[in-house]
Amino acid sequence: MTGKGEFSEQELLTEIAGGNQRAFKVIYDSYYRKIFSYALKYVKSETDAEEIIQEVFLKLWLRDPNSLPIGNLDGYFQVLVRNRSIDVLRRKVLENHVDLDVAVNWQEAHNHTEELIILKDTKKVLDEGIKLLTPQQRQVYKLCHQDGLKYEEAAKELNLSVSTVHSHMKLALKFLREYLKQHTDIAALLVIFKLLP
DSSP one-letter string for 89-154: HHHHHHHTT--HHHHHHHHHHHT-HHHHHHHHHHHHHHHHHHHTS-HHHHHHHIIIIIS---HHHH
Q: Identify the pLDDT of residue 133.
A: 93
User: Is 6 a residue whose pLDDT tops 60?
Assistant: yes
* Residue 140 pLDDT: 92
Indicate the pLDDT class of residue 2, thresholds 50, 70 and 90.
Answer: very low
pLDDT over 60 at 62, yes or no: yes
- Long-range residue pairs from 124-127, CB within 8 A, at least 24 positions apart, any chain: 125/179, 125/180, 125/183, 125/184, 126/100, 126/176, 126/179, 126/180
Indicate if the pLDDT at residue 159 is higher than 50: yes
Res 111: pLDDT: 47
Chain-wide mean pLDDT for the chain?
A: 78
Which domains are seen in the chain, by residue range? 4-94 (1.10.1740.10), 97-193 (1.10.10.10)
Answer whether residue 35 shows pLDDT above 60: yes
Instruction: Name the residue among 38, 19, 135 with its Cα closest to residue 78.
Output: 38
Nearest to 145 by CA among 125, 128, 114, 168: 168
| Residue 33 in this model has a pLDDT that exceeds 90 | yes
pLDDT of 195 reads 44
Q: How far apart are CA 94 and CA 193, in angstroms?
A: 11
pLDDT tens for 86-143 read 778 777 766 654 555 544 454 444 445 555 555 666 777 778 888 999 999 999 988 8
Per-residue pLDDT at 134: 94
What percentage of residues in the chain have a pLDDT greater than 90? 19
pLDDT band at 44 (very low <50, low <70, confident <90, very high): confident
Closest by Cα among 102, 103, 97, 195 to 146: 97
Q: E strand or H helix at 167, and its extent?
A: helix 162-183
Task: Report the distance separating Cα 37 and Cα 150, nearest Å.
Answer: 36
Q: Over the range 84-109, which residues count as b (16 or more CB within 10 Å of their CB) and which as e?
A: bbbebbbebbbeeebebeebbeebee
Give the whole-angstrom CA distance, residue 37 versus residue 60. 18
CA distance 193 to 174: 18
Least confident of 8-12, 103-107, 162-166: 103-107
Q: What is the pLDDT of residue 125?
A: 79
Residue 94's pLDDT is what?
67
